[in-house]
Amino acid sequence: MRDLAWDAEAPPLVACHDLRFSAGGAVRLEVPRLHLRAGAPTAVLGPNGAGKSLLLRLLHGLIAPQEGRVIAAPEVRQAMVFQRPVLLRRSVAANLDYALRAAGEGRRARRARLPDLLSQFGFAASARQPARTLSGGEQQRLALVRALATAPDVLFLDEPTASLDPAATHAIETLLAQADAQGTKIVIVTHDPGQARRLGGEVLLLNRGRIAERTPATQFFAAPRSPEGRAYLSGALLL
Amino acid sequence: MQGFAESFASAAMLILTGDPALWEIVALSLRVSLTAVAIAALIGFPLGAALAVGRFPGRGAAIVCVNALMGLPPVVVGLAVYLMLSASGPLGVLQLLYTPAAMIAAQAVLVTPIVAALTRSAVEGLAAEYDEQLRSLGIGRLGAIPTLLWEARPALATAALAGFGRAIAEVGAVLIVGGNINHATRVMTTTIALETSKGNLHLALALGALLILLALAVNAAVAALGARPREALHA
């Protein structure tokens, strides 16, 4: 793992200011200021309904903010992996090819890259297999490889291992560590404190739509600064 | 009863010996209905997908209309196309009335709403599933249409087959705009109606048997297409 220096001078990859989002008459998210810079992974923790997925979708641009701004430079490449992998009803190779084409890579470049991608990530043998016949863990791994295929600067993940067994979870985390080492900023929503600890970056604790605490992971798990952080780790943090 | 059994026997002979008059009629039926379905697919697939993913005023009303048009009575379609193509109609100069082209047009009008409505319902379900993933990959609402159509291909094949079943079996529209002219616009359904009224049962029976076989084949194809993706999901 790299050291945990977040360069405060570097321009943020993604930022939001005065973000507010309400639904059903209740404020679901209220983030006055959040800057995500290149560096170690950010694990977004918090109880159900804290606004974690909403924050991710707003930052990625899947949901337009009602109030405030999300600032993401167009040259900063983003990708996202969802809790349930959404693979196209095509072969494994065609799924990767689709993502490369969507990212604007030409036919010749794709034809050159595709075999490398497939063998690099262990999909060479299953390249022609319909993607939806892969096991759940392999489907999610393919979704992750598809997201990484375009070498994104920021990778958002929304509970990517929530329905995976330990082996499949380990495979995903190995890929995330590789991507982190290659300079992709990882922003992951997880319900697994162990996962946040293993990724070894910082923890962003959300509670009732607000950022309760943002601390390096080692510090958070040793001695959280906020009352919400202490309550969360003791299992007492409820909505 | 004697005549009945004889009619069945000579109907079977007609089919088995490959009677040229019979096959001429079957071939024209297939040509007209297949072309009509191809035209309906060309219009109905994109139209259905646009209705599924589009966000425009009047979308709800358009969907209701397309769904309602699925049940268009063939004779009414025949009448409408007849009025368009008749000598005094807006398309009279084309002189298409009582030609296979007119029959293709009438059946295409009949089938397009079926294809469009079934496509819309299939693509709408997929669009909900794929929406966030496709937008995450940077694909816009309109850009997603070709992808969604390709992803929905088993359902689209089913829609086309359902349209074909409707086209090959209808009699009212092709009778009005085609005129049931011997060696020109005579198809299976119009021939059955005519020959039965003339008491010439063996040709009618032979064509009826072939029509039922076609319907069976279409339904078997629909069932086969429906079974495949489910197997793939469970594998």
Which residue matches tokens 């297949």? B34
CA–CA separation, A159 and A211 (whole Å)? 18
A158 and A114 together in one domain: no
Residue of B nearest to A81 (CA): B133
3-class secondary structure per residue, B143-177: CHHHHHHHHCHHHHHHHHHHHHHHHHHCCHHHHHH
Residue B192: strand, helix, or coil: helix
Mutate to test the interface with A, among B135, B136, B139 (most CBs of A within 10 A): B136
Residue A64 and residue A157 in one domain: yes
Tokens of A188: 């992951």
In a shared domain, residues A127 and A232: no
Q: What is the pLDDT of residue A237?
A: 61
The answer to whether residues A140 and A161 belong to one domain is no
User: Does A230 map to a domain?
Assistant: yes
- Residues of chain A in contact with residue B232, where contact means CB-CB under 8 angstroms, are 89, 130, 132-133
Closest A-chain CA to B128: A86
Is there a single domain that holds both residue A146 and residue A156?
no
A45 with A159, same domain: the answer is yes
Name the residue of chain A whose CA is nearest to B143's CA: A102
For residue A84, tell me if it sits in a domain: no
Query: What is the CATH architecture assignment of B22-227?
Result: Orthogonal Bundle (1.10)
The residues of chain B scoring below 50 in pLDDT are: 1, 230-235
Whether A97 and A159 share a structural domain: no
With 0-12 / 13-18 / 19 or more C-beta atoms within 10 angstroms meaning exposed / middle / buried, residue A58 is buried
Q: Are residues A6 and A98 part of one domain? A: no
Distance from CA of B102 to the nearest CA of A (A): 39
Assess whether A167 and A233 both reside in one domain. Answer: yes
Query: What is the three-state SS of B10-72?
Result: HHHHHHHHCCHHHHHHHHHHHHHHHHHHHHHHHHHHHHHHHHHHCCCCCHHHHHHHHHHHCCC
Helix (H, G, I), strand (E, B) or coil at A18: strand
Give pLDDT, residue B229. 52
**Please, which residues have CB within 8 angstroms of residue B145's CB and are 6 or more apart in sequence?**
B46, B49, B50, B53, B123
A161 and A231 in a single domain? The answer is yes
Substitution target from A86, A146, A148 for chain B, most B beta carbons within 10 A: A86
Q: Can you give the residue range of the structural domain that contains A239?
A: 1-77+152-239
Paired with A17 in beta bridges are A33, A69
Residues A161 and A220 in one domain: yes
Of B135, B139, B233, the CB nearest to A132: B233
B150 CA: distance to closest CA in chain A (Å): 9
- Answer for the pair A156, A70: CB distance below 8 angstroms, yes or no: no
Nearest to A62 among B129, B136, B232 (CB): B136
Furthest C-alpha separation in chain B = 72
β A185-189/A210-216 pair status: unpaired
Sheet holding A67-72, edge to edge: A26-36, A14-23, A67-72
**Which of B135, B147, B151 is facing A62, going by the closest CB pair?**
B135
Sign of CA dihedral B81, B85, B86, B88: positive
When CB atoms are compared, the residue of A82, A99, A102 closest to B132 is A82
**Nearest residue to B159 (alpha-carbon basis) of B220, B126, B103, B112:** B112
Structural domain tally of chain A? 2
Q: Which of A125, A150, A175 is the last residue of a domain?
A: A150
Of B169, B68, B184, which Cα lies nearest the Cα of B117? B68
How many angstroms separate the CA atoms of A18 and A71, rounded? 11
Q: Please give, rounded to a whole number of angstroms, the shortest distance from the CA of B130 to a CA of chain A.
A: 7
pLDDT in tens, chain A (239 residues): 444 555 566 789 999 999 999 998 899 999 999 999 999 999 999 999 899 999 999 999 999 999 999 999 888 999 999 999 999 999 999 999 999 999 999 999 999 999 999 999 999 999 999 999 999 999 999 999 999 999 999 999 999 999 999 999 999 999 999 999 999 999 999 999 999 999 989 999 999 999 999 999 999 999 999 999 999 998 876 55
In chain B, where the domains are located? 22-227
> Looking at this predicted complex, what is its ipTM?
0.90
Task: For residues A109 and A16, state if they share a domain.
Answer: no
3-class SS of residue A42 = strand
The pLDDT of residue B230 is 46
| Prediction pTM value | 0.86
Task: Kindly report the CATH number assigned to the domain that includes residue A37.
Answer: 3.40.50.300
